[in-house]
Structure 1
Amino acid sequence: MPTEKRINEEPESVDSKKPKHDHFAKGIAPIKPEFIVENAPVNDDVYNDDEAEGGDRQEAAPAANGKGRKKRGQNKNRDLRQQHEEVRLCSTLVDPESGRECKFGPDNCRSTHNVEEYLENKAEDIDGVCPVFSAIGYCPSGLKCRWLGSHYNKETKKLIKDLVKQEESKETNCEVNKITNEAKILLQKKKYVFETASKYIPYLDSMVQNEENLAKQEANKDNQAAYIEAPFKVSEKKKLNLKGAKIVSPLTTVGNLPYRRLMKTLGADVTYSEMALALPLLQATNAEWALPKAHRSEYPGFGVQIATSKHWAAAKAAEAIYRETTNVSELNLNCGCPIDLLYRQGQGSALMEQPARLMRILKGMNACSGDIPVTVKIRTGTKDGHNNAKQLVGRILAENTVAAITLHGRTRQQRYTKEADWGYIGEVAKVVEDWNHAKEEDKDVSDTPATQFVGNGDVYSFEDWHNAVSIPGVDSVMVARGALIKPWIFEEVEAQQYLDKSASERLDMLQTFANFAIEHWGSDEYGVGLARRFMCEFISFTHRYIPVGILERLPAKLNQRPPAWKGRNEMETLLGSTDYKDWIKITEMFLGKASSNFVFTPKHKSNSN
C-alpha cells in the first residue's frame, strides 16, 4: 500500500498559467490549473442530500412557499430491484452434503434439482477467493457462490470447509440483533406479550386526555406508580460515553451494515442503524427488522434509531428491541428527518411542532427500553426564522431523562440549502450544560448521569470536527455526509491534518466494503447484485471527493462546485467520475463483470450520462 502524503494547511503557490475561467471565483473549488479540464462546463448541479436521511422513503420536497415543487436534478421512482438467476437451484441442494429434502419434490419444485444443469448454466466464476469463505471458513451460498471454484472440489463434488476458522469466527465475525422466528410470528399474530408497555401505555393515554387540564395532568403524575414502575431506573441503564467520540450519523440506504463496519475499521467509535419505523417493527416486517442488525464489531457503540408518531408504538417498539436484541447501546428517537412522507404522518421533524406528543413518546421509550438508554435527535426547528430547539430541549430536560440530545443545525425547511448554524447549536449546548450543572446540585437527581449533547451539520474535515467539539457544552459531533464522501475523516481527526489518500488506498477501502457487503448479502448472484447496487450508492458520495493534492488551498468546501478535473493518474480520475457507468466499472474490479440483468439508476440526473 502506498504511503499517504500529508498536506499542509498553507495554500500552495499559484501556477503562472491561469485557466481561462476564474477558478478562485466564489463557489468554485480551488483546483490547481494543471488539473482543470479546459472548455468543460462547471458542474452546477445542486445535490439534494436528503436521501442520506430519508432514502427510498422520500417523496417530493415542499417549496418554501408551501407549494409542491420538483426534486431538482433527481431521478424519481428508481427501480433498484435485482434479478435472480434464470436457472435457479433448489435451496436444499446448495450444499450436496446437507441431507435436506425439498418439501415440493423434484417434479413440483419451481427450482431445478439437476445440479449438473445448474452448474452448466451458471455465470462464470469471479476471480479470486470467496470473501465469505475467506472470512468464516465456509460459504452458506454453497454451489450458488460466484466464487465457487475457490471452495469446491470438482472431483469429489463436495464443498471445502475450514472447520478451525468456522469455530474461530463464531464469536468474532458474526452479525447480531437478529429477531427469532418465534418472536416474529407472535408479533404478526398480535400475540406478543408486552409486559411493560401494556401496563405503561394507559398512563400515557391518560396524559392525552388531561392535556387540556394542566391541574389534572399534574395530579395524574402522582399516580404514575399505579400503572407501572419502570423496571430500570435511569441511573441503572447502560452508560453512554459520547465525550469526544467519533460518531457516524444514522444514514438511510448508504448507512447499511457493510458501510458501518467499514467505518469501524477507519476509526469510528459510534454507529447507528438506518432509521426503522416503529409500526413495521411491530408488524414483524422482515425489511424493518433487518435494520437493527449489526456486526459484532459495532458493539458497544451501536445505536438503533426509530421513528414514530404514536406513544403506544414507541413504547412497544422499545420493549421489543430490548427483549429481542442483545447488542444495542442506545435507542435513538428521530425527530429530525425532513422527508414529506414521514412529516405528513407526524413523524420525524413533525414531532418538534408537537412537544406534548414528543414528551409522551420519550416517556414511553424510557419506561419500556429496559437497560437501553434513550436518546433523541432534533433539528433547530421546522421553519426558517422560527428556531424552537432551545425551548424544546429545555422541556425535554425538565420532563424526561434522556441520555443524550443531538442537534442538527438546520431547519426542516432549509434541508441542505444553507450552512449549519453552529452559533445556535452553541446556544442550545449552553442550555444542556446549565441543566447538568443544576442537576449536580440537586440531591434528588444527582445520581442520574448527565445528559450529553452532540452537534451535527457540515463537518467535512478535522478542523470542522475540532472547532465543533471546542464549543462549550458540545460533547461530540455526529458526522454524516463528511463520512460518506471521505470515509477516512476520523483518521484525519486523530492526525489533526489532511491526509492525501492515493487512488490505490481508496480502492483498498472499496475492496474492504465489497468484502463486507458479500459477507452480509451473500455470495450468490442475487447477493452480488445487492452488493454492487449499494456499492454504487456509496460511490455516488465518494466520487464527490476532490483529492487534496490537486487543490491550491485547503479546505475545499462541499458547497464549492468543482470545474471538470482530472486526477494525478487514470484511477484517480475514474474515482472522481460523475457518470454512474464508471461507478459500475469500479464495482467490477471487486465483484466481477455486471450481468445484463443488473439494474442501477443514480439518484441525480446529472450522474445519468
Structure 2
Amino acid sequence: MAGYTHSAFRRLCRWLGADRVYSELMNATGIVFKGIEKELAYFTGEERPIHLQLYGRNPEEIAKAAVKVVEEYKPDAIDINFGCSVKKVLKAKSAGYLLQFPEIMGDIVRETVNTIKPYGVPVTAKIRLGFHEDNLEKIAENLIEAGVSLIALHPRLAKELFTGKARWERIRDLKKISPIPVVGSGDVWTWKDMERMFEETGCNGVMAGRGAISNPWIFKEFKEKRDYKATFGERIEFLLEELKLMWEFMEKERACKEIKMEAVQLFKGIRGKAKLNEKVMRSKSCKELVERLEELRLKVHE
C-alpha cells in the first residue's frame, strides 16, 4: 500500500484497534547500496508489533538489508514480500515475479532467517497463490522448510492484481497444512468480512489493506462487533491528525501532497465528494491545504 501505510496512518489504525501493522515496501538493493529510507522504515513504539517489509530478488542482498534494518530499527519481524504485483516491481524480477520460482523464494527466506537469527527477529512472508497458475502448496512447502515464522496469503494470482474474487478457500487449504500461523487477506471491506474470513478459513489473523485505507474504523468495528459510520467531522479530524504525525518524519510540503490521496479515500461515500476532492486537491501549498481542512472542520461544528 505504497504512499498510504506510513507511520502516521499505522498509528491511527492502532489507536482504532489494529493489532499489528506492516511497513511500506523497502527495496533491499537500495538499502544495501544507498542506505535505509527513513520515511519508509520510521515507526514509533505505539506501532508495535510491526513487520518491516523488504523485497528483492537476491538472497544474500535481502539478508544483508535485513541485518541493516534489524540493527538500526529493531522491528518485531522482517517481512519478505512475494506478493506485490505492480509493474515496477515485476520488471525488477522481485516480489510477485518470484512466485514462479518457489525454490528461490525458499533460498531468500533461509538466507535471511539464518543471517538475522542472532538478533532474535523472526522472518515472515507475504504471498499470492502463484504467478500464472496456482502453485500454493509448493510455495508454502519451500517457505516453511526454509524457516519462515508466518505466512500472509492473498489468494489471487499475481497476474490477476485485484480483479476477480479472492479465493478464501485456499486460505483454509493453507491453514490445514501449515504448522505456522496463517494470515488471510483479500476482499476484506467490512468488519463482517473479517469475522467471516476467520470462520470460513480458520486463519490466525486477517489483514485489511484497501478496506482499511478507505475505512480505518474497520478495526474499531471489528473489536466492538458493530457497524460504525464515521462522521464527516471525524474524517476531517483523522486527516488533520495524520498530517501532523506525518510531519515528524516527512518534509512538510511533501506530506501535504501525499495526504491528498488519503483524503480521496476517506471522502468516498460522502455526499458532495466531488466538490470536497476538488477543494482539497487544488490546494497549492501546505498552508492552503490545512486552512481548507480547518474550514471544513469549523463548518461541521457550526
- TM-score of the superposed pair, with normalisation by structure 2: 0.89
Q: Is 1:402 equivalent to 2:148 in the alignment? A: yes
User: What is the CA-CA distance between 1:346 and the residue it aligns to?
Assistant: 2.1
Q: Is 1:304 equivalent to 2:1 in the alignment? A: no
What is the identity, as a one-letter code, of the residue corresponding to 1:284? K
What is the identity, as a one-letter code, of the residue corresponding to 1:430? K
Distance 1:457 1:266, change over 3 A: same
Distance 1:407 1:578, change over 3 A: farther
What is the identity, as a one-letter code, of the residue corresponding to 1:278? A
User: What is the CA-CA distance between 1:341 and the residue it aligns to?
Assistant: 2.4
Within 5 Å, give how 1:182-193 maps onto structure 2. Answer: none
Within 5 Å, give how 1:130-145 maps onto structure 2. Answer: none
The match for 1:476 among 200, 205, 224 is 205
The match for 2:66 among 295, 309, 318 is 318
Q: Is 1:536 equivalent to 2:260 in the alignment? A: yes
| Distance across 2 between alignment mates of 1:320 and 1:507 | 38
Contact 2:38 2:249 in 1 (8 A): no
Name the structure 2 match of 1:421: 167
Q: Is 1:282 equivalent to 2:32 in the alignment? A: yes
Name the structure 2 match of 1:457: 186
Distance 1:578 1:341, change over 3 A: farther
Contact 1:469 1:476 in 2 (8 A): yes
Distance 1:318 1:285, change over 3 A: closer
Q: Report SS of the residue matched to 1:470.
A: helix
Contact 1:409 1:424 in 2 (8 A): yes
What is the identity, as a one-letter code, of the residue corresponding to 1:323? E
User: What is the CA-CA distance between 1:579 and the residue it aligns to?
Assistant: 6.9
What is the identity, as a one-letter code, of the residue corresponding to 1:304? L
Q: Report SS of the residue matched to 2:3.
A: coil
User: What is the CA-CA distance between 1:580 and the residue it aligns to?
Assistant: 4.1
Within 5 Å, give how 1:179-328 maps onto structure 2. Answer: 251-285=1-35, 288-299=37-48, 301-326=49-74, 328=75
Name the structure 1 match of 2:115: 368
> What are structure 2's unaligned runs of at least 5 residues?
294-302
Distance 1:578 1:313, change over 3 A: farther
Q: Deviations over 1:91-134 (max 9, x none)?
A: xxxxxxxxxxxxxxxxxxxxxxxxxxxxxxxxxxxxxxxxxxxx
| Distance across 2 between alignment mates of 1:303 and 1:457 | 19
Name the structure 2 match of 1:346: 93
| Distance across 2 between alignment mates of 1:419 and 1:285 | 38
Q: Report SS of the residue matched to 1:294.
A: coil
| Distance across 2 between alignment mates of 1:503 and 1:581 | 16
Distance 1:543 1:503, change over 3 A: closer
| Distance across 1 between alignment mates of 2:123 and 2:221 | 30
Q: Report SS of the residue matched to 1:577.
A: helix
What is the identity, as a one-letter code, of the residue corresponding to 1:360? D
| Distance across 2 between alignment mates of 1:265 and 1:349 | 31
Within 5 Å, give how 1:162-173 maps onto structure 2. Answer: none
Name the structure 1 match of 2:299: none
Q: Which has the higher contact order (CA 8 A, sep 6+)?
A: 1
What is the identity, as a one-letter code, of the residue corresponding to 2:101? Q
| Distance across 2 between alignment mates of 1:472 and 1:484 | 24
Contact 2:172 2:202 in 1 (8 A): yes
| Distance across 1 between alignment mates of 2:249 and 2:223 | 29
| Distance across 2 between alignment mates of 1:589 and 1:477 | 38
Distance 1:255 1:302, change over 3 A: same
Name the structure 1 match of 2:235: 506
Structure 1 runs of 4+ off > 6 angstroms? 585-590
User: What is the CA-CA distance between 1:479 and the residue it aligns to?
Assistant: 0.5
Q: Report SS of the residue matched to 1:413.
A: helix
Q: Report SS of the residue matched to 1:420.
A: coil
Within 5 Å, give how 1:48-59 maps onto structure 2. Answer: none
Within 5 Å, give how 1:101-116 maps onto structure 2. Answer: none
Q: Report SS of the residue matched to 1:337.
A: coil
What is the identity, as a one-letter code, of the residue corresponding to 2:93? G
Name the structure 2 match of 1:485: 214
| Distance across 2 between alignment mates of 1:472 and 1:487 | 23
RMSD: 2.1
User: What is the CA-CA distance between 1:542 and the residue it aligns to?
Assistant: 1.9
Q: How many residues align?
A: 289
User: What is the CA-CA distance between 1:314 and the residue it aligns to?
Assistant: 1.4
Contact 2:240 2:290 in 1 (8 A): no
Q: Deviations over 1:441-472 (max 9, x none)?
A: xxxxxxxxxx1100010111111000111234
| Distance across 1 between alignment mates of 2:55 and 2:220 | 31
> What are structure 1's unaligned runs of at least 5 residues?
1-250, 437-450, 522-526, 547-571, 595-609
The match for 1:573 among 257, 271, 293 is 271
What is the identity, as a one-letter code, of the residue corresponding to 2:215? K
Q: Deviations over 1:274-311 (max 9, x none)?
A: 1001010011346x343111122112x11100001001
Contact 2:103 2:142 in 1 (8 A): no
What is the identity, as a one-letter code, of the residue corresponding to 2:121? I
Q: Deviations over 1:227-248 (max 9, x none)?
A: xxxxxxxxxxxxxxxxxxxxxx
User: What is the CA-CA distance between 1:588 and the residue it aligns to?
Assistant: 6.6
Contact 2:42 2:249 in 1 (8 A): no
